[in-house]
Amino acid sequence: MASVRFNHVFKKFGDFTALNNLDITVEDKEFLVLVGPSGCGKTTALRCLAGLEDVTEGDIFIGENRVNDTPPKDRDIAMVFQSYALYPHMTVFDNMAFGLKLRGVKKEEINRRVNEAAGILGLEQLLKRRPRELSGGQRQRVAVGRAIVREPKVFLFDEPLSNLDAKLRVQTRAQISKLHQSLQTTFIYVTHDQTEAMTMASRIAVMNKGVLQQLDTPQALYDRPDNLFVAGFIGSPAMNFFDAKIRKADKEAFVEMNGFSMKIPANKAEKYMAYDGKPVIFGIRPEDIHNPEFLPSNINAAEVEAKVDIIELMGNEINLNLVSGTHNYVARVDPRTRFTIGEKVKLVFNMDNMHIFDPSLDSENPVAVR
């Protein structure tokens, strides 16, 4: 049981900066997910925490202890690797008991802990087997079991589900969430899959190019992304972005896009007044674009005309690829919608959930205006 703190951590490999001023505090018993595209530094952060890499600058704390110079085995952490990294010549039991034996834990205690972990993970029948006789899912559970028996302060997971098939991944996701609840320990989990991040995390740290983009609860990341990168990364299908301009008219403000224009709700208009005439990026999630026939009540709707380009039936919803003026975008509409390809249709943007990003400070990753 411990908190974890990255205090302005830098990690450089030669000229390449893998971690750029990483500053994260993970509370005790929290399930923190580090998420980002590959090469964003999330795994490096985890390896620095595990002690497999030295940090170039900054401090890492586990609990109250600065662990920069502590070897991995003394950090009281356990790590589950993407490749599982089981010891191929040992049985499942020996794989789990290995770390305990090295620590000089008594034999009865080892037996108790391994059997307990095997019970939690449903591995009782497999204890005598070797890794090569196990399926992918079973190997993954052994890897988790090996971490559990150690009873560490912090669990580290490095993309533990990426080698499982889709169905097994969903199951194991739930298992790991349950494990977190029952163990009441700090979990730090690295993934590139935003679904895993959204479903499991108590908080998510979104990273890109070694820089922490935003650290917040899953819902907050979804509702209030700090910048364009987070807005685009969280959510599937991804948020639609439009190059736009703000236009002020009396007490009202409008978003002007190439070909059409929309009124900003009165309660939001105030903060965008200052951007009058300036280029911004307008963002709206596919699920906030509705078929007017099935419009939810109490929203600030803004109508737009669009041509249907592609229709993807998903069963519970329909994904439409739309063209309005020069803009291509995606909408996720009610499954009762009956549009045909090439049809000119009217759609409604829910302007309550719109996002405006200001590219004037950072043109590559515009910051959200709130």
Partner 1 sequence: MAARTASKSGQQRTSNIIVNGVLILICLLWTIPTIGVLVTSFRDSRDIFTTGWWTVLPHRGVVDAGEIKIAPDVDVNGPITIDGVTHTFAEWRQGVTMPDKRIITWYGNKRTRTLHVQESKWIWFGANLTLDNYKNVITGQDISYKDAEGNTIIRKGSNFSAAFLNSIAVTVPSTIIPILIAAFAAYGFAWINFPGRKFFFTLVVALLVVPLQLALVPILQDYTVLGLNGTYMAMWLAHTGFGLPLAIYLLFNYISTIPRDILESAFIDGASNFTIFTQLIFPLSVPALASFAIFQFLWVWNDYLVALVFLGDKNRVVTVALAAMVGEKGADWHLLTSGAFISMVLPLVIFFALQRYFVRGLMAGSVKG
Q: Which residues bind partner 1 (CB under 8 A)?
A: 50-52, 71-73, 77-79, 81-89, 98-99, 102-103, 130-134, 136, 139, 146, 150, 163
Q: How far is the CB of 100 from partner 1 (least distance, A)?
A: 9
| Minimum distance, C-beta of residue 73 to partner 1, in the bound complex (Å) | 4
Q: How far is the CB of 129 from partner 1 (least distance, A)?
A: 9
Which of 155, 149, 144 lies closest to 28, judged by CA? Answer: 155
* Least Cβ distance, residue 40 to partner 1 (angstroms): 20
Least separation in angstroms between residue 93's CB and partner 1 is 14
Toward partner 1, which CB reaches closer, 103 or 346? Answer: 103
Write down the least CB distance from residue 163 to partner 1, Å: 4
CB of 89 to partner 1, least distance (A): 5
100 CA to centre of own chain: 33
Q: Which is nearer to partner 1, 78 or 200 (CB)?
A: 78
Complex with partner 1: residue 79 or 118, whichever CB lies closer: 79
Nearer to partner 1, 79 or 301 (CB): 79
Q: What's the first-to-final CA gap in the chain, in angstroms?
A: 37
Written as six digits, the tokens of 75 are: 């950090």
CA angle, 192 as apex, 187 and 194 as ends, to 5°? 85
Separation CA 71–CA 76 (nearest Å) = 10
Residues 6+ apart with CB under 8 A from 95: 86, 87, 131, 142, 145, 146
Contacts of 186 (CB under 8 A, 6+ apart): 1, 2, 3, 4, 26, 27, 28, 29, 30, 32, 153, 154, 155
Question: Where is 100: in which H helix or E strand?
Answer: helix 92-102
- 89 φ, ψ to 5°? -95, 5
Would you tell me the crossing angle of helices 136-148 and 92-102 to the nearest 10 degrees?
20
* Token pair recorded at residue 87: 């010891």
Q: How far apart are CA 268 and CA 186, in angstroms?
A: 39
